[in-house]
Amino acid sequence: MKQLGSQTWQYTTRPVILGSSAVVGPEEGEGPLTSDFDFIYDSLKMGEKTWEKAERALFEKASKLALINASLEQEQLEFFVGGDLMNQIISSSFAARQLGVPYLGVFGACSTSMESLAIASMIVDSGGGKYALAGTSSHNCTVEKQFRYPTEYGSQKPPTAQYTVTGSGCAVIGRDDGTSAGPHVVMATMGRIMDLGLKDPFNMGAAMAPAAADTITAHFRDTALSPGYYDLIVTGDLASVGLPIAKDLLAKEGIPMEQTEFNDCGLLIYDLDKQKYVIAGGSGCGCSATVTYGHILKRMKKGELKRVLVVATGALLSPLSYQQGETIPCVAHAVALEMGGDEA
């Protein structure tokens, strides 16, 4: 691996995603990406007694399916890099008990999907391990209860609010033996903390947009590429409020985003016209994870997309920081995925 500029890693061995999985809840299964998910639960409880146990089951299901899709036995896995939104990242930590491999718990809020993928790819690229699993999860009822109001409370939400995705996405990363078409993990741009003073936990899109724009700007500065290099650039969960803000910020930086398709996972996973309860769109760790490891990777394998930049965004607040009147620091991590040979 070598460093490009100040924030970007280039993986010289181009690790490959051997298999992935996207497991979701019933609301996500009713959205436009239904056919791209590996498993859809018909209940938010998922057969468990609590929401938190349901999220753990969600994560365990996704990790097992990712190994199956990678044609690997659990004993062959060497590292697990994961995180989630729960206090002390208990969903990933408890899921790690079932895997029985060295575990690196990471927290980047909703940016955890690409943070874990970048670190797992670093392990493989450096020769530190042959196979590594990257994954994350979120559950609407666990997140709403922890960060906002219990689901049973039935509180009204403003138009800027987003709907936490119930889903888990996992990917198995391995060394390319020279025969794989991909998707390859070729670069990762690690983001800086951005905080423009927003305090409203019901307006995550506006809070995270500056972080997304900053990381995208850094990626093109470090790599000397332009947006047109990619067939798709997708942010994590800025949704309908944050994506236009990010576009405006990038335009001010002179980044020509009109050269490519620029979209958001929070807008892709739901039908905002039919599923009006999602309000501004999707959010949560499971948002970018399930869209990337389900929908986007399937499009890449079909030949519809060759190069994709996934920019997962995260709002790093806690219930305690909000109660103490703190502003919301945000971060975005980007990972570049490519099909085919070494053409970068």
Condensed to tens digits (0 to 9), the pLDDT of residues 297-332 reads 999 999 999 999 999 999 999 988 988 999 999 999
pTM reported for the whole predicted model: 0.96
CATH architecture of the domain with range 184-338: 3-Layer(aba) Sandwich (3.40)
Q: For residue 10, what are the CA distances in angstroms to 15, 66, 134, 263, 308?
A: 11, 25, 18, 24, 15
For residue range 211-225, list pLDDT tens digits in order. Answer: 999 999 999 999 999
Cα–Cα distance measured from residue 98 to residue 258, given in angstroms and rounded to the nearest whole number: 45
The chain-wide mean pLDDT, for the chain, equals: 95
Note the pLDDT tens digit of each residue in 262-285. 999 999 999 999 999 999 999 999
Residue 138's DSSP bridge partners are 167
pLDDT band of residue 18 (cuts 50, 70, 90) is very high
Counting residues of the chain whose pLDDT is more than 70, the rounded percentage is 98
Angle at 44 between CA 42 and CA 49, to 5 degrees: 120
Contact (CB, 8 A) for 278 and 270? yes
On whether the CB atoms of residues 8 and 218 are closer than 8 A, the answer is yes
How far apart CA 103 and CA 132 sit, in angstroms, is 10
Dihedral, CA of residue 193, residue 195, residue 198 and residue 199, to nearest 10: 60
**Residue 342: is its pLDDT beyond 70?**
no
Domain ranges of the chain: 2-174, 184-338
Whether domain 2-174 has CATH 3.40.47.40: yes
- Find the Cα–Cα–Cα–Cα dihedral 160, 316, 174, 130, rounded to 10°: -160
- Comparing CA positions, the residue from 29, 39, 91 lying closest to residue 65 is 39
CB 170 within 8 A of CB 66: yes
Q: Is 229 exposed, middle or buried (0-12, 13-18, 19+ CB in 10 A)?
A: middle
Q: Amino acid identity, residue 310?
A: V
Q: Do 191 and 332 contact (CB within 8 A), yes or no?
A: yes
Is residue 264 helix, strand or coil? strand
Q: What is the pLDDT of residue 341?
A: 63
> What single DSSP character describes residue 296?
I
The yes-or-no answer to whether 2-174 and 184-338 have a common fold is yes
Q: pLDDT per residue over 182-199, tens digit each?
A: 899 999 999 999 999 999
The answer, yes or no, to whether residue 154 has pLDDT greater than 80, is no
pLDDT at 344: 44
